[in-house]
Structure 1
């Protein structure tokens, strides 16, 4: 009795399910994922505790409006005589905000002055929303910018390297034990590659989504809803860019690993791919407030998953730039998948020494 051969989609799903099941049964994978989630939650809780124990916000208040304001016991208040004096203190960093008289513009009769971002705590304290003026809208809090850059860079680096290395180890293990010969007798090579990429991409996406959800819940529970509103759009774009960026890297890890037949030879072929992940991590930490470097990073496929979300957070990206960057990433991903599948297909059955890249690319 003849049997109907499985379709490409059915075979791909079968391989991906196998990859997911193997990872979920791995104690090392579950422990590392748990540690990563706990680290994300701990960073939010620690940040909340530190901010709660921080010194009172320093605010300059013009003497002419003191009687019109509610009590400001939660702030360290500095009295000033003129608006110019208040602005000088804000610009110098001596105070974080100022409350001055402005009866001609605001019905409330006051204006809250901030430097680079709205002083939400001061605005909430005066009960009724006053007229707001920002002296420098091009800057974010340096510490917050650094932490956001560190978060994006670290999550991208750890997830990409962890799952990329898992794919590479799986390819080399199947090749060295000749299990791949059995698999190839039942399903096409490209189906095997597609299943590996799909399975590990699903796991990587699920991990990133869990971190994002946990971070959002943590910010809400610790009373940092304003910060969540600021980070929300950049986190969403980070997840989108990471999804396709990881598929690109997964194809490279699988193709590189297919060039060798022994686990000890794997680092020599996967190191270049690992460097492609490490470079964006280092650059976004060192140049998190450099518009030129971030601008270049946001259009390079390997660094776009980190560079573009950072620009969205900083407010320096135009509305069309994420779409253009994502289009470049999608085209690059498709090209790398085609190239990687050729290397993978031509190298998988070649045992022994390392396969030269030129031979792997040849028809």
Structure 2
């Protein structure tokens, strides 16, 4: 079968969709923005991986003189390092010998040491140049308290183990695979911003394309060869395929980056939520894309699009804001609201708040709503795109005869 015959047997919407894909694939601005976005995502995780791979080091000047409890500075530095490693894993504290307190202070001033640990009658003094590292101070203070307690208990003939019996506190997580609140909020923000970003990147060009075809009357020529509903379907599907591919690519790169960070143990939960986001994104984007196409059809010139697109613009902004702000019952309700569920339901999945069946129910609701809104949008588009007398309102478009 030759190319001409194959084109004749292919549905019109497929031809339009393939043209949309072809035009975007050759658009240097689109390709450049995609590459830059991917590099930004990869670079962000690259910096995180590089920083996490570095070992924080602190050099602490100490003197041979012991404090009132008979403890030495070098032993305290070693104990502080041990406590810090138990908390941070990668950390290194080194002792720098000084002949006197004045020499230790001079070591800090000259840069030979980051800090100086000096004994006093009441304990210890941690000396810094312009500031004292809060983490070092925390672990030195903890180690000093522990060592002093042990020394004083020994001096009083008290068994430290018996003295501290019952004081140990441990933690237990009922769901060790769940995501902490901070990371959950961060991932939810990424989902919300990604929907916002991609919706405008692909949605607004649909509106501009429609109004340009209408303004130049090209749509009248197209309408004689292609049913208007096929023209709309091709535009929406073509851009939806590209948008879905871009989102999937960005999510994939982000998951690869996440797997190399300290949150790698949570990759399964984040991947599950990301998978749901991609699916919900498709349903939400179809609604938004159709609404952008209607906005273009209502306009009579490119300058009108900003006005006719206000309802869909507000919808996208609402999804962004609600996805970041809602919590508790409000978030649970929003996760079943079409379009808003694009962000709200994955946000609940990542925190473990959603039962296994809830995303499925929300997806069915989103799918049904997408079909219904698409049908309404198709009627509005078909009635408005051939009207060249001026900008139409949504109310006027509904009153037009098909």
Q: Corresponding residue for 1:16?
A: 17
TM-score (norm. length: structure 2): 0.68
Match of 1:196 among 235, 249, 255: 235
How many residues of Structure 1 are paired with residues of Structure 2 in the alignment?
A: 301
CA distance in 2, matches of 1:49, 1:320: 39
CA distance in 1, matches of 2:392, 2:45: 47
Alpha carbons 1:258, 1:348 under 8 Å: kept = yes
CA distance in 2, matches of 1:171, 1:313: 38
Q: Corresponding residue for 1:85?
A: 167
CA distance in 1, matches of 2:188, 2:230: 37
5 Å-filtered alignment, 1:217-236, equals: 217-222=256-261, 224-236=263-275
Q: Which moved further from structure 2: 274-283 or 263-272?
A: 274-283
TM-score (norm. length: structure 1): 0.75
Question: Secondary structure at 1:306's aligned position in 2?
Answer: helix
Q: Which moved further from structure 2: 186-195 or 9-18?
A: 9-18
Match of 2:299 among 256, 260, 263: 260
Match of 2:215 among 176, 186, 191: 176
Q: Corresponding residue for 1:346?
A: 383
Alpha carbons 2:298, 2:391 under 8 Å: kept = yes
Question: Secondary structure at 1:74's aligned position in 2?
Answer: helix
Cα gap change, 1:316/1:84 in structure 2, threshold over 3 Å: closer, same or farther? farther
Q: Corresponding residue for 2:285?
A: 246
CA distance in 1, matches of 2:345, 2:186: 16
Cα gap change, 1:114/1:41 in structure 2, threshold over 3 Å: closer, same or farther? farther
Alpha carbons 1:45, 1:222 under 8 Å: kept = no
Alpha carbons 2:181, 2:351 under 8 Å: kept = no
Q: How much is the aligned-residue C-alpha RMSD, in angstroms?
A: 2.8
Question: Secondary structure at 1:319's aligned position in 2?
Answer: coil
Q: Corresponding residue for 2:46?
A: 45
Q: CA deviation at 1:35?
A: 2.3
User: Which segments of 5 or more consecutive residues in structure 1 lack a partner in the other structure?
Assistant: 57-70, 88-97, 99-112, 121-136
Q: CA deviation at 1:73?
A: 7.5
User: Which segments of 5 or more consecutive residues in structure 2 lack a partner in the other structure?
Assistant: 58-81, 88-138, 147-159
CA distance in 2, matches of 1:210, 1:26: 18
Give yes or no for the alignment of 1:358 onto 2:395.
Answer: yes
5 Å-filtered alignment, 1:14-163, equals: 14-52=15-53, 74-76=85-87, 85-87=167-169, 98=170, 113-114=171-172, 118=176, 140-163=179-202
CA distance in 1, matches of 2:374, 2:339: 14
Cα gap change, 1:38/1:114 in structure 2, threshold over 3 Å: closer, same or farther? farther
CA distance in 2, matches of 1:5, 1:47: 50
CA distance in 2, matches of 1:302, 1:54: 44
Question: Secondary structure at 2:44's aligned position in 1?
Answer: helix
Alpha carbons 1:280, 1:297 under 8 Å: kept = no
Cα gap change, 1:50/1:4 in structure 2, threshold over 3 Å: closer, same or farther? closer
Alpha carbons 1:241, 1:304 under 8 Å: kept = yes
CA distance in 2, matches of 1:202, 1:267: 25
CA distance in 1, matches of 2:269, 2:166: 30
Cα gap change, 1:162/1:292 in structure 2, threshold over 3 Å: closer, same or farther? same
CA distance in 2, matches of 1:83, 1:43: 46
CA distance in 2, matches of 1:237, 1:84: 46
Alpha carbons 2:48, 2:261 under 8 Å: kept = no
Q: Corresponding residue for 1:335?
A: 372
CA distance in 2, matches of 1:154, 1:116: 31
